[in-house]
Amino acid sequence: MLTALLTFIGVAHAQAIEPMPFRDHAQELRFQHLTHQLRCPMCQNETLADSNAPIARDLRNQIFQMMQQRKSDEEIKQYLVARYSNYVLYDPPLQPGTWLLWFGPLLILFAGASAVVIAIRKRHRGDDAPTEAQTGNGDDW
């Protein structure tokens, strides 16, 4: 039963992404490489190659048509960036507008580490101060 279900899922996925009539194997590899570098505008974090969304299918067809027109990878990427912004690139360029994207996780990590260090230092300072039990005056009950 499980094998039949997995086979059905595999066939359904294979049929969802229709084959393209490539001229040769090199063009097919170029198409696969390019669609793995681009993000589906509708999906959260899927490449155009992996997405089954209608817009991803349309963009794969658009990329294929542009490849048939002998457009370079950079020209295709520039077209998609002009239409969908740098979000469509899985590896966006380092620009002032993308600094937070590139360095945001590092800033959050640094802020968390700083908070931990400050908390540990406060705790150590609290341990160094003499408590009432340590300053006993001999009147223990």
CA dist 57 and 87 (Å) reads 18
- 12-53 pLDDT, tens digit per residue, is 444 445 677 777 888 889 999 999 999 898 887 888 889 889
Identify the weakest region by mean pLDDT among 20-24, 76-80, 105-109: 20-24
Q: Same domain, yes or no, for 35 and 71?
A: yes
Q: Which of 70, 76, 106 is CA-nearest to residue 88?
A: 76
The confidence band for 101, taking pLDDT boundaries of 50, 70 and 90, is: confident
- 47-63 pLDDT, tens digit per residue, is 888 988 999 999 999 99
Q: What is the pTM of this model?
A: 0.57
Q: Same domain, yes or no, for 19 and 62?
A: yes
Q: Confirm whether 88 is domain-assigned.
A: yes
- Greatest Cα pair distance in the chain: 97
Q: Same domain, yes or no, for 84 and 100?
A: no
Using alpha carbons only, give the angle 136, 123, 135 rounded to the nearest 5 degrees.
Answer: 5
Q: Same domain, yes or no, for 88 and 123?
A: no
- Single-letter residue type at 76: I
Neighbours of 37 (CB within 10 A): 17
